[in-house]
């Protein structure tokens, strides 16, 4: 019986050829596409980006010293990931490169979980972030109204904390400021 040929791994060209209204990622050789985030997801990412970005990217009400970006495209060997938010210490990335993607692993990544992407974020993307030595990963779940904070410990992540609802918290690596978690969640429970 002849061997069944293995499908060719997905490439950056597959990402470029994906419909523009979809987010395209290549994880372990497989192309994944999904629609742009729904309202609760977009709200959580936007508010978090504003709060952290103001204090750490711009230095308003916080220490500055970071570059914080919304949906940067990350290229790690054959893997192409698009986290909701990512941040780099300015001493590692002094300015945003002109290229369409980043090859330098961030110092922090935030994935806002959606019902359609939560398993992929946990099962497929976390191991890649660990392999690339991303020190901190946050998983934000607007439906569960929770934030999980992970810190790299060797080759794997350990969960430092889980917070939620209306807590006001300081979360590493941005513990120089307080975050009001209630601002991340949908204001209308029907939107969940």
Give the pLDDT score at 188: 62
In a domain, 1, yes or no: no
Give the pLDDT score at 121: 96
Give 124-153 pLDDT, tens digit per residue: 999 999 999 999 999 999 999 999 999 999
Give the pLDDT score at 3: 43
Q: Could you tell me the CA-to-CA distances from 144 to 43, 112, 125, 162, 163 in Å, in that order?
A: 14, 11, 20, 11, 10
CA angle 158, 160, 166 (to 5 degrees): 140
Give 116-125 pLDDT, tens digit per residue: 899 999 999 9
In a domain, 48, yes or no: yes
In a domain, 92, yes or no: yes
Enclosing domain of residue 57: 37-191
In total, the chain counts a number of residues equal to: 192
**Which CATH number does the domain housing residue 115 bear?**
3.90.1570.10
In a domain, 115, yes or no: yes
In a domain, 2, yes or no: no
Phi-psi label, residue 181: left if phi above 0, alpha if psi -120 to 50, beta otherwise: alpha
Give 2-53 pLDDT, tens digit per residue: 444 547 899 999 999 999 999 999 999 999 999 988 888 899 999 999 999 9
Give 68-115 pLDDT, tens digit per residue: 999 999 999 999 999 999 999 999 999 999 999 999 999 999 999 999
pTM of the model: 0.92
In a domain, 147, yes or no: yes
In a domain, 15, yes or no: no
Over residues 152-172, mean pLDDT: 97
Number of domains in the chain: 1
Q: What does residue 121 show for φ and ψ, rounded to 5 degrees?
A: -60, -40
What percent of the chain has a predicted confidence (pLDDT) above 90?
88
In a domain, 103, yes or no: yes
């Amino acid at each position: 019986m002849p061997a069944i040929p293995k499908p060719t791994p997905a490439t950056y060209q597959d990402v470029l050829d994906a419909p523009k209204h979809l987010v395209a990622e290549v994880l372990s050789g497989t192309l994944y596409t999904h629609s742009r985030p729904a309202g609760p997801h977009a709200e959580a990412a936007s508010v978090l980006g504003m709060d952290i970005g103001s204090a750490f990217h711009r230095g308003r009400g916080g220490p500055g010293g970071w570059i914080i970006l919304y949906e940067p495209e990350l290229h790690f060997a054959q893997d192409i990931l698009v986290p909701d938010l990512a941040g780099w210490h300015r001493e590692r990335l002094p300015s945003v490169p002109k290229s369409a993607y980043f090859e330098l692993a961030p110092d922090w990544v935030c994935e806002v979980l959606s019902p359609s992407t939560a398993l992929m974020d946990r099962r497929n993307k976390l191991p890649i972030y660990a392999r690339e030595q991303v020190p901190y990963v946050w998983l934000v779940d607007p439906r569960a109204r929770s934030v999980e904070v992970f810190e790299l410990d060797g080759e794997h992540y350990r969960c430092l904390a889980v917070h939620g609802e209306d807590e006001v918290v300081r979360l590493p690596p941005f513990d120089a400021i307080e975050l009001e978690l209630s601002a991340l969640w949908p204001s209308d429970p029907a939107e969940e």
